[in-house]
Amino acid sequence: MQTNPTTNKDLSFDDFKAEIINDYTIAVTSRECSLLGRREVLTGKAKFGIFGDGKEIPQLAWAKAFKNGDWRSGYYRDQTFMMAIGKLTIQQFFAGLYGHTSLEEDPMSAGRQMGGHFATHSLNDDGTWKNLTEQKNSSADISPTAGQMPRLLGLAQASKVFRNLKGLENKTNFSKEGNEVAWGTIGNASTSEGLFWETINAAGVLQVPMVMCVWDDEYGISVHAKHQTTKENISEILKGFQRTNEDKGYEIIIVNGWNYVELVEAFQKAGTIAREEHVPALIHVRELTQPQGHSTSGSHERYKNTERLQWERAFDCNVKFREWVIENNFATNDELEAIEKDIKKQVRVGKKAAWQAFLAPQQKESQEAITLLSNLAESSPNKTFIEKIKNELAAEKEPFRRSIASGVRKALRYVILETSTEKKQLQDWINNYFEIIQPKYSSNLYSESNTNAISVAEVKPAYNSNAEDVDGRVILRDNFDTILGNYPETLIFGEDVGAIGDVNQGLEGLQEKYGEMRVSDTGIREATILGQGIGMAMRGLRPIAEIQYLDYILYALQIMSDDLVTVRYRTNGMQKAPLIVRTRGHRLEGIWHSGSQMGGLIHLLRGMYILVPRNMTKAAGFYNTLLKTDEPALVIECLNGYRLKEKMPANLGAFRTPIGVIETIKEGNDITLVSYGSTLRIVQEAAKELQQVGIDAEVIDVQSLLPLDLNHDLVKSIKKTNRLLVIDEDVPGGASAYILKTIVEDQNGYQYLDSKPQTLAAKPHRPAYGTDGDYFSKPSTEDVFEKVYEIIHEANPIDFPKLR
The 10 Å Cβ neighbour count of residue 556 is 24
pLDDT above 60 for 5:
no
CA angle 108, 110, 115 (to 5 degrees): 55
Phi then psi for residue 698, to 5 deg, are: -95, 130
Cα–Cα distance, 280 to 247 (Å, whole number): 13
Name 664's bridge partners.
Answer: 700
pLDDT value of position 292: 85
Residues ≥6 apart with Cβ < 8 Å to 170: none
Residues ≥6 apart with Cβ < 8 Å to 247: none
Cα–Cα distance, 287 to 230 (Å, whole number): 17
Whether residue 635 contacts residue 605, with contact meaning beta carbons closer than 8 Å, is answered with: no
**Exposure string over 320-340, b if 16+ CB within 10 A, otherwise e:** bbbebbeeeebbeeeebeebb
pLDDT above 80 for 175:
yes
Cα–Cα distance, 638 to 134 (Å, whole number): 44
Cα–Cα distance, 139 to 160 (Å, whole number): 18
- CB-count exposure of residue 428 (10 Å: 0-12, 13-18, 19+): exposed
Whether residue 282 contacts residue 254, with contact meaning beta carbons closer than 8 Å, is answered with: no
pLDDT tens digit sequence for 67-111: 999 999 999 899 999 999 999 999 999 999 999 999 999 999 999
Whether residue 629 contacts residue 443, with contact meaning beta carbons closer than 8 Å, is answered with: no
**Exposure string over 689-722, b if 16+ CB within 10 A, otherwise e:** bbeeeebebbbbbbbbbbbbbeeeebbbbbeebb
Phi then psi for residue 218, to 5 deg, are: 75, 0
pLDDT tens digit sequence for 242-280: 999 999 999 999 999 999 999 999 999 999 999 999 999
Nearest to 415 by CA among 371, 374, 380: 380
Whether residue 390 contacts residue 374, with contact meaning beta carbons closer than 8 Å, is answered with: yes
Cα–Cα distance, 398 to 391 (Å, whole number): 14
pLDDT above 90 for 636:
yes
Sign of CA dihedral 92, 98, 102, 108: positive
Strands 580-585 and 609-611: unpaired
Cα–Cα distance, 359 to 354 (Å, whole number): 9
pLDDT above 60 for 460:
yes
pLDDT value of position 770: 83
Cα–Cα distance, 237 to 581 (Å, whole number): 34
- Which amino acid type is present at position 708? L
* Cα–Cα distances in angstroms (integers) from residue 441 to residues 36, 124, 366, 435, in the given order: 27, 20, 18, 11
Cα–Cα distance, 586 to 678 (Å, whole number): 6
Nearest to 582 by CA among 473, 664, 663: 473
pLDDT tens digit sequence for 250-260: 999 999 999 99
The 10 Å Cβ neighbour count of residue 301 is 10
The interaxial angle of helices 421-442 and 401-413, nearest 10 deg, is 150
pLDDT above 50 for 1:
no
The interaxial angle of helices 317-327 and 56-65, nearest 10 deg, is 70
Residues 515-527, mean pLDDT to the nearest whole number: 97
Cα–Cα distance, 174 to 180 (Å, whole number): 10
pLDDT band at residue 220 using 50, 70 and 90 as cut-offs: confident
Strands 469-471 and 645-647: antiparallel
pLDDT value of position 44: 87
Residues 374-392, mean pLDDT to the nearest whole number: 97
Residues ≥6 apart with Cβ < 8 Å to 713: 661, 662, 664
pLDDT above 50 for 446:
yes
* Cα–Cα distances in angstroms (integers) from residue 166 to residues 428, 514, 535, in the given order: 58, 11, 20
pLDDT tens digit sequence for 554-570: 999 999 999 999 999 99
Q: What is the DSSP letter of 584?
A: E
Which of 117, 278, 284, 593 does the annotation list as catalytic? 593
Cα–Cα distance, 762 to 732 (Å, whole number): 6
Cα–Cα distance, 274 to 87 (Å, whole number): 23
Residues 125-131, mean pLDDT to the nearest whole number: 94
Cα–Cα distance, 647 to 474 (Å, whole number): 10
Cα–Cα distance, 715 to 650 (Å, whole number): 34
CA angle 752, 757, 762 (to 5 degrees): 155
Task: Measure CA of the first residue to CA of the last residue in the chain; give whole Å.
Answer: 96
593 counts as catalytic: yes
pLDDT value of position 300: 83
Cα–Cα distance, 426 to 409 (Å, whole number): 9
Phi then psi for residue 582, to 5 deg, are: -105, 135
What is the share, in percent, of the chain residues with pLDDT greater than 90?
A: 90
**Exposure string over 276-289, b if 16+ CB within 10 A, otherwise e:** eebbbbbbbbbbbb
Averaged confidence pLDDT in the chain: 95
Q: What DSSP string runs through 550-581?
A: GGGHHHHHHHHHHTGGGHHHHTTTS-----EE
Strands 697-701 and 663-666: antiparallel
Q: Give the number of C-alpha atoms closer than 13 A to the C-alpha of residue 306, restricted to the C-beta side.
A: 0
Secondary structure class of 708 (helix, strand, coil):
coil
* Cα–Cα distances in angstroms (integers) from residue 48 to residues 41, 186, 210, 708, 752, in the given order: 6, 20, 31, 37, 49
pLDDT value of position 3: 58
pLDDT tens digit sequence for 302-355: 888 999 999 999 999 999 999 999 999 999 999 999 999 999 999 999 999 999
Phi then psi for residue 253, to 5 deg, are: -125, 135
pLDDT tens digit sequence for 646-704: 999 999 999 999 999 999 999 999 999 999 999 999 999 999 999 999 999 999 999 99
Nearest to 475 by CA among 665, 661, 643: 643
What's the farthest any 2 CA atoms get from each other in the chain? 103
The runs of H, that is alpha helices, within 571-660 are 598-604, 616-626
Residues ≥6 apart with Cβ < 8 Å to 391: none
